[in-house]
Structure 1
Amino acid sequence: MKHKNDSREKILIAAAHLFQTKGFNATGLNEILKEKWFPKRFLYYYFPNGKEELALEAIKVSTQNIKSNLMRIWRNMKIPLKPFSQLLLI
């Protein structure tokens, strides 16, 4: 099952990158798939509701990556996390 999750994750990462750099409306599904050379059927297998579902999942992945990066930075700077816990929903 790891292969399945790897493919899904790669599509999400490519989508998140393109949505962030070009915007949702300017990014087509074919462009996302071309980024990692996946056939279109992969997209609809993992995201049966299409581009909108893919965008929502990409936002979740991006949000989690941002939270993880902020936590790593704050730990390295030794800043107390209490004031930030509500922002990160810890």
Structure 2
Amino acid sequence: MLDTAMGLFRRQGYHATGINQVLAESEAPRGSLYFHFPGGKQQLAAEAVEASGRQVSELLAAVVVEASGPREAVAAVMAHFAQALEESDFSSGCPVATVALEASAESAEVRSACDGAYGTWMAGLAAAFEAWGMPASRAGELAVTALSMLEGALLLCKVQRDVATLRTVGDQLAELLESARTEEV
């Protein structure tokens, strides 16, 4: 049920995803929904965002471990999201953003889950940037900038139905991060 909800919220958003659709597509009995998610749709959405957030955190961590530096890491992340966009016919972007845009203003539980996911991603990025030799004083700012650039690129790619923006943003982000490595510590 959670996996189904994750996919539906990512593709359709919070408001377009109904409990009946989650139950039908997951083939779960109705009683199991309220047994596992007594808070209903808000709890299901919050847990789906948390699970999706962990998946992206794991992806980012794996990319950082494999990459020799920021340029290679940025290219790998952008390629991953470009492939996901193309394979979904541009219906799946960021697994957190769609829900965050729709439901965070009306649900503290969902807002907290979205904030937690973004916070974890930024902390992981900041740690990676420091490990690549960027000044600690700039790592947090650069993490905010990198995540904002990625989120904006994903949104534009969905609207334009083209991954070219990911490539452009990736190139610019890689340049920014490489130049930050040469700043005085």
TM-score over 0.5 (shorter chain): yes
Question: What is the alpha-carbon distance in structure 2 between the residues aligned to residue 42 and residue 66 of structure 1?
Answer: 27
RMSD: 2.0
Question: What is the alpha-carbon distance in structure 2 between the residues aligned to residue 18 and residue 49 of structure 1?
Answer: 18
How much identity, in percent, do the aligned residues show? 32
User: What whole-Å deviation, never above 9, does each CA across 1:4-54 have from its counterpart, x for those lacking one?
Assistant: xxxxxxx11110110110111001111111112101111100000100010
Aligned to 1:22: 12
Q: State which structure, 1 or 2, has the greater radius of gyration over its C-alpha atoms.
A: 2
Distance 1:48 1:77, change over 3 A: same
Alignment of 1:2-81 (within 5 A): 11-79=1-69, 81=128
Aligned to 2:130: 83
Structure 1 stretches (4+) deviating beyond 3 angstroms? 82-87
Q: Tell me the TM-score normalized by structure 1.
A: 0.75
Structure 2 residue ranges without an equivalent (≥5): 71-127, 132-138, 144-185
Opposite residue 83 of structure 1, the aligned amino acid is E
Question: What is the alpha-carbon distance in structure 2 between the residues aligned to residue 83 and residue 33 of structure 1?
Answer: 44
Structure 1 residue ranges without an equivalent (≥5): 1-10
Question: What is the alpha-carbon distance in structure 2 between the residues aligned to residue 58 and residue 72 of structure 1?
Answer: 21
Q: Tell me the TM-score normalized by structure 2.
A: 0.38
